[in-house]
Structures are given as C-alpha cells and as structure tokens.
Amino acid sequence: MTVVALVSVKGSPGVTTAATAIAASWPADRKVLLVEADPFGGDLAPRYGSAVTGGLASLSAAARRTLTPESVWEHTGELPGGLPVLFGLTNVNQAVANENAWPAIASALADLGADVVIDAGRLLPDFGGGIRHLLARADTVAVLFAPTLESIVHLRDILLSLAAEVRDRRLVVVPTATAGYSAAEIGGTLSVSVGPAMPDDPHAAAALANRRSVRRLERTRLLRWAADFVSGLELAPAPDAQTPSGETATEQGEGDAARDRRVTDPEGLAEAQAVAPAPVGASVEVGR
Ligand SMILES: Nc1ncnc2c1ncn2[C@@H]1O[C@H](COP(=O)(O)OP(=O)(O)OP(=O)(O)O)[C@@H](O)[C@H]1O
Ligand SMILES: [Mg+2]
C-alpha cells in the first residue's frame, strides 16, 4: 500500500484540488482513501454540502482510546461518485487541540490495507497540527507551489527541514502552472526532483470543487495530469483491501468498470446532505 501526502508552503496553490484529482484517478483495482488533514480545516464538506457526521473530528476522539486500522472506515464518507474520503477538521484550533491523536491516526492510516492520498494543506511551523506524523508515514511527499520567484524563495526556505522529515522517501515539488520558471531551472536551483506541472484548468478545478459540472471530467487536462502523477508513483503491491463491509475490492467487482463514474448514496452522506446547505454548483460525481 502507498501513502502520498500533498502540502503547500504559502498561498492556496491547489492542494485540495490536486489531492482530489489524484485520488479520483487512482487505479480502479486498488482501494484508495482521500484524507483531508489540512490543519487549517477541510474544504470538501462545505464544497459538497455535506454535514460531516464522522471525519477527523470523530476519528481523533476515537484515537484517544485504541484505534485499529479497520475502524478508520467507521469515520469516512464518500463524495458523490463514490470516492471514499475522511473529511477534515473545521479549523486550525481544532487541529492543534487534537495534535496528540495524530501518532495513532497516522499509524492506522499506514496500515489501512488501502492506499491513502492526504491533503496535508499548508505547512504549519515545525510541521505542527499533526502533519509531522503523516510525513513520517508517507512514501511520497509532493509540495505544490506556483512557479514564481517569490514562491520558489519560500519553497527553498522550507525544503531542507522538509527533506529531513521525509528522509529516504520521495520528495517532489510540483509547479502549479506550466508558465513561469521551468522544471530545469527549479530543479537546478533547489536540487530537488520536480514533478510534471499541474495545468491551469479552471473548469476542471471548479468541477472538483462542485462549483460546476464538466462532461468527461476524466478527459480534462487536470485529470489527465493527475493520472500521469499516479503513473509516476511506484505503487507498492496492491493490498487485499478490506472494505467497510469486509469484502475485498475484487469481490466487490471493482475492475476497469469502476473507472466509470458511479453515484452512490453512502451511508450517512445522503442524510447529511439533507440537513446541509445546498451545494453551490451542480453535483459533481467524483468516482474512480
Ligand atoms: N489546476 C488548477 N487550475 C485552475 N484553478 C485551480 C487549479 N487548482 C485549483 N484551482 C482553484 O484554486 C483555488 C484554490 O484551490 P484549492 O482549494 O485546491 O487550493 P489549496 O492549496 O487547497 O488551498 P488552501 O490551502 O486554502 O486549502 C480554487 O478556487 C480552485 O478551484
Ligand atoms: Mg486546501
């Protein structure tokens, strides 16, 4: 199983969008969980109009007792389309207050029996808000940044300490626009591996934020970039993933057909949506 964490240093370069696109582009024969660990709070529940009944808040409470990897699924929901998601906390105070829960949560996620894509949000000083524990478990850490001079300067400032956290695992920086400094210039200046730039694709990004709908989302530049990003990961051998119902992904009949967008009515989410404010955009299906 593989854990990928996406972070930013400053601004809002598109970490949540990228994490959602990457999880949605995950190989259909592997189970994946999208985790909203941004210490500044999760955005997916408000974007999708989901009132969170579980999520990191209840998982953090559970982690004060014993936390088994399987029990993580009791706190997850799904985006319309079926992508499993662990919704985030609401704000940075909650993240700091729950900091003690993170070693147990990070360890449970690492042993989940499924791959994990983490939106670790904007880094806090000293990798606070639980992020240090997640970085310690990630196989790949990707830092998203705009390829501008000022962003590169901010990135350079944090890179040494970030590399010390990531150690022998994979650290990659990902420009969030194809214009600006080139991968060669960035890689040469920072001595770090530079991933393919996330394309500027406002329509697909808006669709992933549930602000509009886009036909054939998987064919957009953003989703094709995400699929390339996933292909570039050296995924560990597929686990015999246990679903919440105890079936393996294969038993569930997940194969290529699972790539077709599917609408599900995940337990709790339909009820949650009934009490939540209506989403701003047309409901977008984010499946795998
Ligand atoms: N590739 C992209 N092309 C165009 N617009 C994008 C792209 N990625 C993200 N956006 C837009 O940029 C805004 C910020 O994106 P997003 O919420 O993913 O950033 P973030 O880094 O997670 O921010 P924060 O740290 O505030 O959570 C959103 O309006 C989103 O739709
Ligand atoms: Mg975000």
| pLDDT at residue 288, as a whole number | 59
Instruction: With cut-offs at 50, 70 and 90, classify the pLDDT of residue 253.
Output: very low
Residue 63: is its pLDDT beyond 90?
yes
CA distance 190 to 8: 16
CA distance 125 to 180: 27
Ligand nearest to the CA of 15: 1
Q: Give nearest CA residue, ligand 1 atom 25.
A: 12
**Please, which residues have CB within 8 angstroms of residue 9's CB and are 6 or more apart in sequence?**
122, 123, 143, 145, 151, 154, 155, 157, 158
- Over the chain, what is the mean pLDDT? 85
Dump pLDDT digits (tens) for 255-274: 333 333 322 222 222 333 33
Beta strand pairing call for 32-36 and 77-78: unpaired
Dump pLDDT digits (tens) for 198-251: 999 999 999 999 999 999 999 999 999 999 999 999 888 875 544 444 444 444
Is it true that domain 3-232 has CATH number 3.50.50.60?
no
State whether the beta carbon of 36 lies less than 6 angstroms from ligand 1.
Answer: no
Output the DSSP codes for 156-179.
HHHHHHHHHHHTTSEEEEEES-SS
Q: Which residue has the tokens 């408000």?
A: 46
| pLDDT at residue 237, as a whole number | 82
The fraction of the chain above a pLDDT of 90, given in percent, is 75
State whether the beta carbon of 13 lies less than 6 angstroms from ligand 1.
Answer: yes
State whether the beta carbon of 147 lies less than 6 angstroms from ligand 1.
Answer: no
Residue 94: is its pLDDT beyond 50?
yes
The sign of the torsion formed by the CA atoms of 191, 195, 199, 202 equals negative
Beta strand pairing call for 140-145 and 115-122: unpaired
Instruction: With cut-offs at 50, 70 and 90, classify the pLDDT of residue 143.
Output: very high
Alpha-carbon distances of 188 from 74, 158, 166, 179, 183, rounded to whole Å: 45, 17, 20, 17, 8
Instruction: With cut-offs at 50, 70 and 90, classify the pLDDT of residue 44.
Output: very high
SS3 (DSSP) at 48:
helix
State whether the beta carbon of 222 lies less than 6 angstroms from ligand 1.
Answer: yes
Pocket probe mutation, ligand 1, options 10, 16, 198, max atoms within 8 Å of Cβ = 16
123: left (phi > 0), else alpha (psi -120 to 50), else beta? beta
pTM: 0.86
